[in-house]
Amino acid sequence: MNKRIQLSTETLRCSTCGLGQFCLPVGMAPADAHKMDELVQLRLRVGKGQPLFRAEDGLDAVYGIRFGSLKTLVELADGRQQITGFHLPGEVIGLDGLGRETHASTAVALEDSEVCVIPIRDLSVVATHLPSLQRQLLRLMSRELENDQQLLLSLGAMRAEEKLAAFLISLSDRLSARGYSSSQFVLRMSREEIGNFLGLTLETVSRLFSRFAKAGLLRINQKEVELVDVPALRQIVGRQC
Amino acid sequence: MNKRIQLSTETLRCSTCGLGQFCLPVGMAPADAHKMDELVQLRLRVGKGQPLFRAEDGLDAVYGIRFGSLKTLVELADGRQQITGFHLPGEVIGLDGLGRETHASTAVALEDSEVCVIPIRDLSVVATHLPSLQRQLLRLMSRELENDQQLLLSLGAMRAEEKLAAFLISLSDRLSARGYSSSQFVLRMSREEIGNFLGLTLETVSRLFSRFAKAGLLRINQKEVELVDVPALRQIVGRQC
DNA sequence: CGGTCCTTTGAGCGCCTTCAAAGTAGGTGG
DNA sequence: CCACCTACTTTGAAGGCGCTCAAAGGACCG
């Protein structure tokens, strides 16, 4: 089970959280950001491999990632699944269920992680009187739509090589926006998960990593990657994505 | 260019529009629905093959489809494109750009169509004081997220036969919800567009139609389809989607 | 240190694509 | 109204990209 962490007034809150620039409070005036503090009273620890929520579950909260990383996925009746996203600290997940008040996807931790619980009951109450929060919700959801559309482009219109290059570039950009190295990082997901995400098999992903490494585009050792020739990788994608 | 139609007080408005159950006013109290009338002062005629908006364009409105149908798509730098949706009357398109105030996708009419113009400037003003509209916006966006996720599942996890069956079933359901026949309808899009949408080539789509017809699952004559054995089609998809 | 899971690499195959050509529909202008 | 043109569709044949099957080598964990 996921471990609950009750927040006291002393604890780090939204208004002082360094991830604010990616999370719900983006672009809010300090006064408004303080109202977020009332909203988030609880955090959850989610162990590696543990689900945070499952598709079809009733939705009573959305979640901001404090540390760690999670994947979201949707499933077919026969068990086949499609990973729809890998999520980093500062991202808010669960928004795709807001309409039906039922989760549309399942979220699973890729590593031990911690998330801030944002109860939607309170969220909608606060948002009613807080235009900046309304706007931010719409902004986050439309960003998620854009992400899905990029993934659709990957799955539908790219070849294997381009898919993996696009994946690495995108991950590099997101990590670098969060202050991590853009060229050296650890893949928290397995080859199989990358393959599933991109519509490839794990063997194809592994072969592509080997081929990219042989071509001098990157170095790879298990889950550690170092992008050596980013411009070449970008060119594989098509110099714009 | 698209033809503008200024609305008078006499004209059919949101509060009396039969498509309200699919469009922005879903589930609004009559009093609230009337406020929508102030919002929509203009309609546009879009000729077959004409763009309603293009990705990267500034976004100053979202659009409710009155009649006709449109496709939305995203593009790669080299021109390859991925169709992300086919849209029917009552659907609101352009929401994916709300965050950046820039369109994230391009919308093109599949046939001569008419859309209601919903200016976002006014929309956000009205929404601030109208919680039912805020909720409806979130609901529409999260539904769009769900649609994208279903498509991701198609593109990434299904085989050609399943993709086409799922496409037909989904279209049938949506048409029937709008009062059209669920078993006989006209495909407004070409084989190439269906293929692009599903991550297949136009030849594969054509062959699948022929194969389905030979198996007695459907009849097809150019763009006219009649679904003969819907249960069998659903079974191909995996009896749940 | 044993077990399990993940990754790598090879060989062969199959689904879907590519290439090609003929057939059909729809629209336009003479 | 018909001839022509263009765009779309159908069908066949051949080929390739990525998959499936298989096995060995590492890494991680209790």
The residue behind tokens 């026949």 is: B181
Q: Is B73 on the interface with A (CB under 8 A)?
A: no
A93-to-A73, A100, A109, B97 alpha-carbon distances in Å: 11, 15, 12, 19
Ranges A145-149, A186-190, B86-90, B131-135: which has the least confidence = B131-135
Going by pLDDT thresholds of 50, 70 and 90, the confidence category of residue A36 is confident
CB contact (8 A) between residue A238 and residue B98: no
- For chain B, domains (ranges, CATH) are 3-155 (2.60.120.10), 158-236 (1.10.10.10)
Our CA-based measurement puts residue A11 at a distance from the nearest CA of chain B, in whole angstroms, of 31
Estimate the crossing angle of helix B131-157 against helix A120-128, to 10 degrees.
Answer: 130
Per-residue pLDDT of chain B (241 residues; tens, 9 = 90+): 677 776 665 666 788 888 888 888 888 888 888 888 888 889 999 999 999 999 999 999 999 999 999 999 999 988 899 999 999 999 999 999 998 999 999 999 999 999 999 999 999 999 998 999 999 999 999 999 999 999 999 999 999 999 999 999 999 999 999 999 999 999 999 999 999 999 999 999 999 999 999 999 999 999 999 999 999 999 999 744 4
Q: Is B148 on the interface with A (CB under 8 A)?
A: yes
A12-to-A3, A9, B175, B229 alpha-carbon distances in Å: 18, 8, 51, 59
User: Which nucleotides of chain D have an atom under 7 angstroms from any protein CB?
Assistant: 8-13, 17-22, 27-28
Which among B144, B152, B158 has CB closest to A84?
B152
Q: Residue A16, CB, less than 7 Å from strand C?
A: no
Q: Name chain A contacts of B148, Cβ cutoff 8 Å.
A: 145, 148-149, 152
For residue A74, give every residue at least 6 positions away whose Cβ sits within 8 Å of its Cβ, in sequence order, or none. Answer: A55, A81, A82, A84, A104, A105, A106, B149, B150, B152, B153
pLDDT number for residue A224: 96
> Would you give the DSSP letter of residue A58?
B
